[in-house]
């Protein structure tokens, strides 16, 4: 705007900013406010500050998850390992163990897995596992099943007390009587002589149970009988021509044996299935080298401690 009446004849031009005038009377031009708000969005999209909580490179900057890798432990480094399946009380454990470790060391490993003290374990692989030999010596291979039988100390004491009492009673009765092989009930079987297919015996030697059933023996009726030790089921199968009895080893209260006179490399043996002598199941012509292995497998070594 021009004001002509100014002292000194000079003209002073006062130019008012359109924007200021518009602000004063509330007539701002449409679209100006939107243009002001778009600027920060354009900065962010054109390489300005990244959105809060995110990195410029997105997910690529996240650290990868850490993987847990097991190689059998540092202690086994450089040693040959064998993969085992340890089975106890319906539980299965996959274990990698040093092939040159002994049976006693394997029992310590089982203790760490199950909580069973080594002295309370009955560990079986093709018979009772020898503590002094290595897994390599007894020919353990990958995928081998190791059967473990055992209970807590309280359970064992509760079960073993009647067994120990029964053993003492049997020994006392044996001391009073004449040798078993001279008794009439046994003579009628022994007088038949040695079976033609009896298994070979080795006197003065103790061996583990063979991988095949023990056969070529007689029962008290003079019929052929075989013994099969189902370690994975903790059962003893007594088979005849007519049928097979499947007995849980925990149900066998005692095992007694005696050398046969004149044939001391063979034994007559009985499995006590009930509280009296009438419950004995007699087997004749058991090779002497397997007698201790049979007792250990059925009763467990702790029976003798």
Contacts of 43 (CB under 8 A, 6+ apart): 49
- pLDDT tens for 170-203 read 666 655 567 888 888 899 999 999 999 999 998 8
Query: CA-to-CA distance for 157 and 277, rounded, in angstroms?
Result: 24
Q: Which residue positions in the chain have pLDDT lower than 50?
A: 1-3, 5-6, 8-24, 27-76, 302-305
Structural domains of the chain sorted by starting position, each given as residue range(s) with its CATH number in brackets: 81-155 (3.10.20.90), 180-299 (2.30.29.30)
- pLDDT tens for 66-93 read 433 333 444 445 688 999 999 888 888 9
Query: CA-to-CA distance for 199 and 215, rounded, in angstroms?
Result: 7
pTM of full prediction above 0.85: no
Phi, psi for 104 (deg, rounded to 5): -65, -40
Distances (CA, A) of 85 to 16, 117, 127, 145, 183: 95, 19, 16, 5, 47
Query: CA-to-CA distance for 208 and 190, rounded, in angstroms?
Result: 26
| H/E run at residue 91 | strand 91-98
Nearest CA to 104 among 281, 289, 301, 305?
Answer: 301
As a residue count, the chain comes to 305
User: What is the reported pLDDT for 245?
Assistant: 93
């Amino acid at each position: 705007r021009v004001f002509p009446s100014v002292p000194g004849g000079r003209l002073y031009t006062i130019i008012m900013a359109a924007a200021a005038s518009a602000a004063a009377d509330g007539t701002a031009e449409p679209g100006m406010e939107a243009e002001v708000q778009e600027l920060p969005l354009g900065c962010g999209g054109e390489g300005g500050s990244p959105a809060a909580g995110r990195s410029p490179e997105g997910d690529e900057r996240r650290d990868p998850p850490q993987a847990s890798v097991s190689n059998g432990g540092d202690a086994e480094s450089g040693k040959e390992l064998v993969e085992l399946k340890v089975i106890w009380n319906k539980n299965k454990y996959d274990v990698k163990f040093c092939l040159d470790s002994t049976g006693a060391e394997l029992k310590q490993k089982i203790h760490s897995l199950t909580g069973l003290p080594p002295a309370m374990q009955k560990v079986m692989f093709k018979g009772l596992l020898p503590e002094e030999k290595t897994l390599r010596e007894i020919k353990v291979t990958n995928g081998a099943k190791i059967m473990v039988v055992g209970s807590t100390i309280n359970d064992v004491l509760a079960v073993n007390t009647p067994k120990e009492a029964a053993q003492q009673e049997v020994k006392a009765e044996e001391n009073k009587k004449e040798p078993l092989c001279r008794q009439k009930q046994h003579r009628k079987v022994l007088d038949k002589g040695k079976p033609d297919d009896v298994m070979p015996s080795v006197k003065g030697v103790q061996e583990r149970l063979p991988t095949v059933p023990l056969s070529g023996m007689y029962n008290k009726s003079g019929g052929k009988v075989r013994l099969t030790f189902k370690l994975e089921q903790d059962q003893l199968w007594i088979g005849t021509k007519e049928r097979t009895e499947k007995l849980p080893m925990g149900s066998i209260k005692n095992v007694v044996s005696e050398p046969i006179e004149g044939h001391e490399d063979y034994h007559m043996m009985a499995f006590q299935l009930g509280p009296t002598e009438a419950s004995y199941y007699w087997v004749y012509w058991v090779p002497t080298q397997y007698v201790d292995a049979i007792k250990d497998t059925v009763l467990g070594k702790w029976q003798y401690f």
